[in-house]
Amino acid sequence: MDAVNWQQRVGNQRNWVWRGWQTRYTYIRPTQVEGRLIPSLAKTTPLMLLHGFGASIGHWRQNIEVLGKYHTVYALDMLGFGASHKAAANYSVELWVEQVYEFWKVFIRQPVVLIGNSLGSLVSLAAANTHPDMVMGVVMMSLPDPAMEQELIPEILQPVVAALKKLLASPILIKPLLRVLRQPKVLRRLAIFAYANPEAVTDELVDILAGPPQERGSARALVALCQAAANPKYAPSVKSLLPNVTIPMLLIWGQNDRVVRPVLAAKFAAYNPNVQLLTLEGAGHCPHDESPLEVNQAILEWIEKVVSPTDKCMTPLGSSEKNF
């Protein structure tokens, strides 16, 4: 798989200027599979992929081509990440939701299935809540809840924790820290912590992670991101969002996730009967990259059976029955 450079496996990359900031995106459209035309419904059910914190379009290199055989697929580098502008913006989940929504209004303009990993899954959920006209289904992998983490801190300690977060977000600390964090050997160790299978942390993955932090403005953007994350208004709580969403949702969680506890999966699924839970053995925080065959197939089958249940002709090649 690594023999073909990841840039060639993620579709047609383009730049789009949003609110004066350059944004990188990519897309791929279905044409034929083994000589057969793709059923029309697949062509009219677009997918939009949103990466996690510190990741980018390249993190979907094992998914875009496969999903793109059956659907038009878009992927976006959210502001501050990947090849998008490293802006000193007032970052928040709300800001990324508006970026996604405005991208959708410009390029897609029909309901999509949002697919996110980690931060991208929280942005997807928030977008479905804020802009229901945009979304017909949501796939969330390793869904974080910064608001819940805040609630778990004893009230008497919250001012202390807030002060520590503010201190750690200081440019005096962030800039030298970034010089260490962007070293490939350090990024490899961090990825190995996030991944359950160390063999999935390839040289290609390290190259994808190491590129953006080398770009101009990356230290400035990291400072802004860390300062934003220290703000209680940075992200809404999952508990406040999930009960309000009425469309189908698929929650995918690696049983060996060391970044966001797998015990939250069942708790989140209980918030809304529209959530269907899929747990994957041997996967960590990034199941789409660690177990791409399973995740790609699960997404395609879920869309066929749940999001578009009236269409029985769109059967992914090699599909097998799963009780979604």
Give 169-193 pLDDT, tens digit per residue. Answer: 666 677 777 788 889 999 999 999 9
Write the single-letter amino acid at 147. Answer: A
Residue 231 CB-density burial (10 A; 0-12 exposed, 13-18 middle, 19+ buried): middle
Q: How many residues does the chain have?
A: 324
pLDDT tens-digit readout, 216-262: 888 889 889 888 887 878 999 999 999 999 999 999 999 999 999 99
Q: Find the domain containing 73 and state its range.
A: 6-149+237-307
Segment of 155-169, 176-190, 196-210 carrying the highest mean pLDDT: 196-210
> Based on the structure, what is the number of domains in the chain?
1
94-103 pLDDT, tens digit per residue, is: 999 999 999 9
Could you tell me if residue 128 is inside a domain? Answer: yes
User: Over the stretch 262-296, which tens digit does the pLDDT of each residue have?
Assistant: 999 999 999 999 999 999 999 999 999 999 999 99
Question: Does residue 74 register a pLDDT over 90?
Answer: yes
pLDDT per position as a tens digit, 45-59? 899 999 999 999 999
pLDDT of residue 163: 54
Cα separation, 8 vs 147, whole angstroms? 38
In a domain, 179, yes or no: no
pLDDT at residue 252, rounded to an integer: 98
| CATH number of the domain that residue 281 is part of | 3.40.50.1820
Averaged over 304-323, what is the pLDDT?
A: 50
Whether 301 is in a domain gets the answer: yes
Q: Which residue has the higher pLDDT, 217 or 39?
A: 217
Q: Give the per-residue pLDDT at 231.
A: 81
Angle (CA) 297-303-305 rounded to 5° is: 100
Has residue 20 got a pLDDT over 60?
A: yes
Position 205 scores a pLDDT of: 96
Q: Is residue 298 part of a domain?
A: yes
Asked if residue 206 belongs to a domain, the reply is no
DSSP class per residue in 201-267: --HHHHHHHHSGGGSTTHHHHHHHHHHHHTSGGGS--HHHHGGG--S-EEEEEETT-SSS-THHHHH
208 is a domain residue? no
Closest to 295 (Cα-Cα) out of 274, 280, 275, 313: 280
Tell me whether residue 197 is in a domain.
Answer: no
- Collapsing DSSP to helix, strand or coil, 39 comes out as coil
pTM attached to this predicted model: 0.87
pLDDT at 152 over 70: no
In a domain, 167, yes or no: no
Backbone angles phi, psi at 306, to 5 degrees: -110, -50
